[in-house]
């Protein structure tokens, strides 16, 4: 007759081994819907409003903006899009260094822009299906200015709900950065290493 104690131990060991191995296999991302997209941007905007009105020194604000960008943004996708054709010919090391440099550059650039929102706030309204994911609408209410639209594009193609583009009064961040990075790269004769070095220097 089989030893029940032995069988139990063997079954328990097998079960634990299966659980340990489970994280090695990627789980299919849950389908993104309008509620999930809006919930993400509600959190992003809540953190953004807090940073804008924190009264912290500029250097600290920029670190906070970069942390926010990396938490809620699909930074590798945004960086890859901004570099365009040069991404395909770049080495793995160049890509990694470019993503890091681009993250800091974006935090400083857009941190300055959002710092102008001090004393105001961004209010999220609704989300709707759009190409590549969902578009979440919001309005920026600034002191002494008429409200204007900021729309956030959200996708989970990376396996996680993340923002990968935003539109300020209809102007796309992705399109703007792609044009500006292309111009920077042209001035450096297509040298990605020089571009990375200079992005790290831009204040």
Ordered domains of the chain (ranges, CATH): 34-201 (3.10.450.710)
**Does residue 15 have a pLDDT over 80?**
no
Higher per-residue pLDDT: 124 or 115: 124
pLDDT in tens, 134-193: 999 999 999 889 999 999 999 998 889 999 999 999 999 999 999 999 999 999 999 999
Q: Which of 8-17, 41-50, 163-172, 180-189 is the least confident region?
A: 8-17
Percent of the chain with pLDDT over 70: 85
Q: What is the 3-state secondary structure (H, E, C) of the chain?
A: CCCHHHHHHHHHHHHHHHHHHHHHCCCCCCCCCHHHHHHHHHHHHHHHHHHHCCCCCHHHHHHHHHHHHHHHECHHHHHHHHHCHHHHHCCHHHHHHHHHHHHHHHHHHHHHHHHCCCCCEEEEEEEEEECCEEEEEEEEECCCCCCEEEEEEEECCCCCCEEEEEEECCEEHHHHHHHHHHHHHHHCCCCHHHHHHHHHHCC
Q: Which of 26-35, 116-125, 130-139, 153-162 is the least confident region?
A: 26-35
Residue 116: the pLDDT is: 85
Q: Phi and psi of 75, rounded to 5°?
A: -60, -45
Distant-in-sequence contacts of 172-177, Cβ < 8 A, 24+ apart = 173/78, 173/110, 174/78, 174/81, 174/82, 177/78, 177/81, 177/82, 177/106
**CA 168 – CA 148 distance, rounded (Å):** 8
CB 172 within 8 A of CB 74: no
In the structure, what pLDDT confidence band is assigned to residue 30 with cuts at 50, 70 and 90?
A: low
Query: How confident is the model over 100-126, as a mean pLDDT?
Result: 92
In the structure, what pLDDT confidence band is assigned to residue 16 with cuts at 50, 70 and 90?
A: very low
**Does residue 55 have a pLDDT over 50?**
yes
The mean pLDDT value of the chain amounts to 87
**pTM score, whole prediction:** 0.80
Residue 19: the pLDDT is: 34
CB 134 within 8 A of CB 34: yes
pLDDT in tens, 108-117: 999 888 888 8
CB 149 within 8 A of CB 137: yes
**CA 143 – CA 21 distance, rounded (Å):** 54
Residue 132: the pLDDT is: 86
Q: State both tokens at 116.
A: 């102008």
């Amino acid at each position: 007759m089989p030893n029940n104690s032995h069988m139990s131990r063997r079954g328990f060991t097998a079960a634990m081994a299966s659980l340990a191995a489970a994280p090695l296999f990627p789980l299919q991302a849950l389908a993104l819907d309008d509620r999930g997209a809006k919930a993400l941007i509600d959190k992003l905007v809540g953190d953004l409003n807090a940073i804008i009105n924190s009264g912290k020194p500029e250097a600290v604000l920029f670190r906070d903006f970069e942390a926010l960008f990396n938490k809620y943004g699909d930074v590798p996708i945004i960086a890859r899009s901004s570099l365009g054709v040069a991404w395909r010919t770049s080495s793995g090391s160049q890509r990694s260094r470019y993503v890091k440099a681009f993250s800091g550059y974006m935090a400083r650039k857009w941190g300055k822009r959002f710092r102008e929102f001090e004393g105001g706030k961004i209010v999220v309204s609704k989300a709707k299906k759009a190409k590549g994911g969902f578009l979440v609408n919001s309005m920026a209410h600034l002191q002494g200015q008429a409200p204007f639209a900021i729309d956030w594009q959200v996708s989970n193609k990376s396996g996680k709900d993340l923002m990968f583009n935003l539109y300020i009064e209809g102007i796309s961040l992705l399109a703007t950065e792609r044009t500006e990075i292309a111009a920077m790269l042209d001035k450096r004769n297509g040298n990605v290493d020089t571009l990375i070095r200079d992005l790290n220097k831009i204040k």
